[in-house]
Amino acid sequence: MDDEGRNRAQLKHAGIEAVVERFVRRRLYDGLEQNGNWPQPSLGNGCALWLWWMFTTRESLLRETKEEKEDIIRLVFPYMANTARYAAALAPPTHFTLPLGPSNPVQRHLYTSQTPHGTYPLYPTLATPPSTPISSSPASTISHPAPNRPSVLYYFHTSPSFEPLLPATRSDIPVNERGVREGLTREDLEEFNRHKTAKLRGDVEWDWDLGYAVLRSLQPDGTLTKMPVKEGEEPSREWDLDVARARLWRHLQKAPKWRAGSVYRRGLLTGVWAESSSQ
């Protein structure tokens, strides 16, 4: 993971963006008939959607037409909306401590109930065996990348939350019996859209001529600037917690023989929670 933009630079040079776009637009729904007419939660689809999101930049979004954005939103919507079929996390939120089993005095067993889509909650690491990344030394298995999270990120970053039938402003809402103007307005949604909850990843790429990683930024006037990445702000640090979770939760019923690393950092759960989403 400590590539600091080298992997990104090499993948872009190899044409990964065009390959991933063709896969997402043409093959994401392969095997639909074998899954009750729902897209497959396969390793290939998960990897493709994660690569799509990781290489999504402000530049690439500006190049997309409205129709192209709507097409991608249509394709990823099932992964985003149907959490009864597609796991939203590596482990269900019903478990506070892992692994399960005799070593866990609080929670020893899986907890599931039947739904029209099958059992819930979902245990993705039981449905698909973990992968062995070729870059690990010594080799260690990690959980498969699930298609839900990149779909959620892309949807909430690009999908406009706009409803033309809503009142324009608060003053256009009639006063109720309690003397209060309640309800959502177009003004509320416009304010929500100005502060995207799904942030684009920094476009950090290794500059082979300079010999260090640079942060590429598209300015309002259309110029592209490159700023050196400061020590301690390397891009790989963003994923330390995710990698530790993927390694720790690859087996829900088997404790690892080594310390996987921190899976949570104080301060992550911050922000306004009441009515934070208007979807």
233-268 residue pLDDT tens:
776 777 788 877 777 777 777 766 666 677 777 776
Ramachandran class of 229: left when φ > 0, alpha when ψ lies in -120 to 50, beta otherwise:
beta
Burial of 102 (0-12, 13-18, 19+ CB in 10 A): exposed
Angle CA(238)–CA(201)–CA(239) in degrees, nearest 5? 20
Closest by CA to 152, choosing from 197, 116, 94, is 197
For 144, what's the count of Cα atoms within 13 Å in the CB-facing half-sphere?
23
- CB burial of 153-190 (b: ≥16 within 10 Å; e: otherwise) equals bbbeebbeeeeeebbeeeeebeeeeeeeeeeebbebbe
pLDDT at 274: 42
How much is the CA Rg of the chain, to the nearest whole Å?
22
Compute the Cα dihedral for 80, 84, 87, 90 and give only its sign: positive
Q: Of all helices (H) and strands (E), which one includes residue 188?
A: helix 186-193
> Going residue by residue through the chain (279 aa), what tens digit of pLDDT does each one get?
455 678 888 888 899 999 999 999 999 999 999 988 999 999 899 999 999 998 898 888 888 898 998 899 999 999 998 888 888 887 777 777 777 777 777 777 777 888 887 788 887 766 666 665 545 444 467 778 889 989 988 888 876 555 557 788 888 888 888 888 888 787 777 776 666 667 777 778 888 888 888 888 777 777 778 888 877 777 677 778 887 777 777 777 776 666 667 777 777 665 544 444 434
Retrieve residue 168's tokens: 């324009």
> Residue 142's CB: how many other CB atoms inside 10 A?
22
Q: Of all helices (H) and strands (E), which one includes residue 242?
A: helix 240-248
67-89 residue pLDDT tens:
998 899 999 999 998 888 888 88
Burial of 243 (0-12, 13-18, 19+ CB in 10 A): middle
